[in-house]
C-alpha cells in the first residue's frame, strides 16, 4: 500500500475562524480531515471526542483487520500500551484508600530482598522517580518479548541492575516500576491484576469492553490486529507476548469505554476527589501517578500516550473545558498525520496546518556524501545522517533510522513524520549545519562530525 500525500491548503485554518465555529462545525471538519487522510492511507484507528458529558465524535477509520476488510468502529478493541498505567495507578490508590497499603511503603515490604528496596517507595514507582532501570531498554528485551513470563521472571531481569540514580532524585520513565506495582497489586489483593481491575474498576464503571491480557494469544472479540508500515506498505506487527507489559501496558479497551473512564474521573465512583487530585498532581517532569499534567496554551491538560508493537494510543483530558480526546491507532508507526495535535487545536480554537504535498526530486546521490555526518540539536542529542545504497537516512539519538527524501539538493523531508531538514553550506560549499523543521519550530543543529 503506497502513501500519497495530498495538498489540503484550503484546510489551513486561522485561530479567528476556528474560534467562530460551533462544536458541530469543528467535528464535521475533523471528520472530513480524518476521512480524507484515511482514504490516502495516512491514518488508521478509532477516535472519540467528548465534551460536557456528550460524545461529539465516536468513530472508526480504516480497518481493524486488513486481510478481511473488517473496519474499525467505536467498539473496536485496541491494545492500550502505556495508557494502561493510569489504571494500574488507580488500582494502587484504591488499595491505599482501603487501608491495604500506603504509597509511602518501602519496596522491601513486598519484596524483602530487593536491592535498595528500603530506599524505594510506592510513590517513587508511581511517579517514575525510583531510579530503577527501564527493562524494555535492556539489551535482553528483544530476545524475551515473544515469550510468556511471570512477574517474578520479569522482575529478575532488572532486579539486580544498579540504580540509575538515587530514588527521588529525578524522573526517568521506567516500565519496570509499573511491573513492580503490578506485583504489589497481586500480592496485596490476592488476585491477578486482571481480576482485581475487573472487579474494582471495569465492572463498577460498566466498562464491558476493557480488560487485561491474560495467557498467551487470548482470543478477544473485536480486537484490532496491530500493523507496522514500511515503504512497500503495511505488514503484521512483530509479536509480543502480552504477559510482558502487565500493568505497564497490557490493557485493551475501546474509545467508548475510555469515555466512560474519563467521565468517572469527574466523580467519586472509584476514588475520593482528594485521591484523584493526588494522582494528577505533578512530581518531577510534570508526571503524576500514571498521568502527565501540563498547561497547553493556558488550558489544563491531563494526558498519557502509549506505544506497543502494532499500536499507538493517546488520551487527552482538558477538565476546565470538560473535553476529552481519545485516539487509538492500530498502525504503530503511521505518524505522518498528527491526529492528536490537529484534534486538540481544532477543539480548543488554535491554528494548525495539515501536511502539504511534497514531491521527491531527482538529485545526484553523490550529494549525499556531503550531507552525511552528525549534527547536534542539543547536548547529548544528535541527528546522524547516513547514506546506504544511494539512499539517505536520518537517525536521532535513541530513535529509529528513517529515510529522508530530497525536495532539492539541500532540502529533505520525511514521509513517516511531518518534518523536514534544510542543510546549510558555507562559502566554500562545505555543509556546516542543518535546521530541523517540525511542529512549527525551527531547530538548528551544528555539524560536529
Predicted pLDDT at 336: 55
Mean pLDDT of the 64-76 span = 97
| pLDDT beyond 90 at 380 | no
| pLDDT beyond 90 at 419 | no
Query: In this prediction, what percent of the chain has a pLDDT beyond 70?
Result: 93
Residues 114 and 248 in one domain: yes
Residues 280 and 379 in one domain: no
Predicted pLDDT at 11: 35
| pLDDT beyond 70 at 6 | no
In a domain, 84, yes or no: yes
| pLDDT beyond 50 at 10 | no
Mean pLDDT of the 417-431 span = 91
| pLDDT beyond 50 at 8 | no
Residues 259 and 371 in one domain: no
Mean pLDDT of the 142-158 span = 96
In a domain, 360, yes or no: no
Residues 426 and 329 in one domain: no
Residue (of 313, 317, 356) closest to 334 by Cα position:
313
| pLDDT beyond 50 at 14 | no
Q: Which of 335, 352, 387 is the last residue of a domain?
A: 335
| pLDDT beyond 60 at 365 | yes
Q: What is the pLDDT of residues 219-239, one digit of tens each?
A: 899 999 999 987 677 899 999
| pLDDT beyond 60 at 159 | yes
Lowest average pLDDT, out of 5-19, 151-165, 190-204, 229-243, goes to: 5-19
Residues 328 and 393 in one domain: no
Residues 373 and 331 in one domain: no
Residues 319 and 389 in one domain: no
Predicted pLDDT at 217: 61
Residues 309 and 404 in one domain: no
Range of the domain at 438: 367-447
Q: Which of 314, 335, 356 is the last residue of a domain?
A: 335
Per residue, the 3-state secondary structure of the chain, as one string, reads CCCCCCCCHHHCECHHHHHCCCHHHHHHHHHHHHHHHHHCCCCCEEEEEEECCEEEEEEEECEEECCCCEECCCCCEEECHHHHHHHHHHHHHHHHHCCCCCCCCEHHHCCCCCCCCCCCEHHHHHCCCCCCCCHHHCCCHHHHCCCCCCHHHHHHHHCCCCCCCCCCCCCCCCHHHHHHHHHHHHHHHCCCHHHHHHHHHHHHHCCCCCEECCCCCCCCCCECCCEEEECCEEEECCCCCCCCCHHHCCEEECHHHHHHHHHHCCCCCCCCHHHHHHHHCCCHHHECCCCEEEEECCEEEEEEEEEECCEEEEEEEEHHHCEEEEEEECECCCCCCCHHHHHHHHHHCCCECCCCCCCCCCCCCCHHHHHCEEEEEECCEEEEEEEECCEEEEEECCCCCEEEEEEECCEEEECCCCEEEEEEECCCCCEEEEEEEECCEEEEEEECC
Residues 297 and 178 in one domain: yes
What is the DSSP secondary-structure string of 322-337? TEEEEEEESBTT--SS
Residues 315 and 405 in one domain: no
Predicted pLDDT at 337: 66
In a domain, 35, yes or no: no
The enclosing domain of 423 has a CATH number of 2.40.128.50
pLDDT band at 29 (very low <50, low <70, confident <90, very high): very high
Q: Chain-wide mean pLDDT for the chain? A: 91
Predicted pLDDT at 360: 92
More confident residue, 243 or 333: 243
Lowest average pLDDT, out of 163-167, 228-232, 318-322, goes to: 228-232
The enclosing domain of 275 has a CATH number of 3.40.710.10
Instruction: Domain count for the chain, please give it.
Output: 2
Lowest average pLDDT, out of 21-25, 73-77, 362-366, goes to: 21-25
Q: What is the pLDDT of residues 33-60, one digit of tens each?
A: 999 989 988 899 999 999 999 999 999 9
In a domain, 36, yes or no: no
In a domain, 348, yes or no: no
Lowest average pLDDT, out of 148-152, 275-279, 297-301, 335-339, goes to: 335-339
Predicted pLDDT at 398: 77
Residues 303 and 390 in one domain: no
Mean pLDDT of the 191-217 span = 93
pLDDT band at 105 (very low <50, low <70, confident <90, very high): very high
In a domain, 38, yes or no: no
Give CA–CA dist 405/414, Å, rounded.
6
Lowest average pLDDT, out of 123-137, 233-247, 294-308, 413-427, goes to: 413-427
In a domain, 309, yes or no: yes
| pLDDT beyond 80 at 100 | yes
In a domain, 186, yes or no: yes
Residues 405 and 306 in one domain: no
Lowest average pLDDT, out of 141-150, 239-248, 299-308, 327-336, goes to: 327-336
Q: Is the pTM of this model over 0.95?
A: no
Predicted pLDDT at 40: 83
Amino acid at each position: 500500500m503506497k502513501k500519497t500525500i495530498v495538498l489540503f491548503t484550503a484546510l489551513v485554518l486561522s485561530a479567528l475562524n476556528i474560534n467562530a465555529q460551533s462544536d458541530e462545525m469543528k467535528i464535521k471538519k475533523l471528520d472530513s480531515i480524518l476521512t480524507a487522510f484515511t482514504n490516502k492511507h495516512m491514518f488508521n484507528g478509532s477516535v472519540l471526542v467528548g465534551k460536557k458529558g456528550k460524545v461529539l465524535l465516536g468513530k472508526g477509520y480504516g480497518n481493524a483487520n486488513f486481510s478481511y476488510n473488517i473496519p474499525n468502529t467505536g467498539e473496536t478493541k485496541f491494545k492500550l500500551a502505556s495508557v494502561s498505567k493510569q489504571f494500574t495507578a488507580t488500582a494502587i490508590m484504591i488499595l491505599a484508600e482501603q487501608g491495604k497499603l500506603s504509597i509511602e511503603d518501602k519496596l522491601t515490604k513486598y519484596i524483602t530482598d530487593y536491592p535498595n528496596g528500603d530506599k524505594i517507595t510506592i510513590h517513587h514507582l508511581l511517579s517514575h522517580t525510583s531510579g530503577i532501570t527501564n527493562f524494555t531498554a535492556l539489551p535482553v528485551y528483544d530476545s524475551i518479548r515473544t515469550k510468556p513470563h511471570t512477574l517474578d521472571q520479569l522482575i529478575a531481569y532488572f532486579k539486580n541492575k544498579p540504580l540509575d540514580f538515587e530514588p527521588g532524585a529525578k524522573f526517568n520513565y521506567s516500565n519496570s516500576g509499573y511491573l513492580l506495582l503490578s506485583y504489589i497489586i497481586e500480592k496485596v489483593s490476592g488476585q491477578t491484576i486482571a481480576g482485581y481491575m475487573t472487579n474494582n474498576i471495569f465492572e463498577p464503571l460498566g466498562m464491558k469492553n476493557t480488560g487485561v491480557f491474560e495467557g498467551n494469544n487470548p482470543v478477544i472479540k473485536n480486537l484490532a490486529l496491530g500493523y507496522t508500515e514500511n515503504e512497500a506498505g503495511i505488514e503484521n506487527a512483530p509479536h509480543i507476548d502480552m504477559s510482558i507489559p502487565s500493568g505497564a501496558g497490557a490493557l485493551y479497551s475501546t474509545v467508548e469505554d475510555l469515555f466512560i473512564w474519563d467521565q468517572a474521573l469527574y466523580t467519586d465512583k472509584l476514588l475520593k476527589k482528594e485521591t484523584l487530585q493526588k494522582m494528577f498532581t505533578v512530581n518531577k517532569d510534570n508526571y503524576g501517578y500514571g498521568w502527565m499534567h501540563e498547561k497547553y496554551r493556558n488550558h489544563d491538560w491531563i494526558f498519557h500516550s502509549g506505544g506497543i508493537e502494532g499500536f499507538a494510543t493517546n488520551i487527552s483530558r482538558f477538565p476546565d473545558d470538560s473535553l476529552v480526546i481519545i485516539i487509538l491507532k492500530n498502525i504503530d508507526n503511521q505518524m505522518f498525520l498528527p491526529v492528536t495535535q490537529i484534534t486538540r487545536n481544532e477543539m480548543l480554537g488554535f491554528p494548525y496546518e495539515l501536511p502539504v504535498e511534497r514531491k521527491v526530486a531527482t538529485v545526484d546521490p553523490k550529494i549525499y556524501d556531503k550531507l552525511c555526518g552528525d549534527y547536534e540539536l542539543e547536548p547529548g542529542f544528535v541527528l546522524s545522517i547516513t547514506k546506504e545504497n544511494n539512499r539517505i537516512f536520518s537517525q536521532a539519538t535513541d530513535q529509529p533510522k528513517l529515510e529522508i527524501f530530497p525536495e532539492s539538493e539541500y532540502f529533505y523531508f520525511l514521509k513517516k513524520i511531518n518534518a523536514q531538514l534544510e542543510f546549510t553550506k558555507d562559502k566554500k560549499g562545505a555543509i556546516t549545519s542543518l535546521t530541523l523543521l517540525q511542529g512549527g519550530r525551527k531547530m538548528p543543529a551544528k555539524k560536529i562530525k
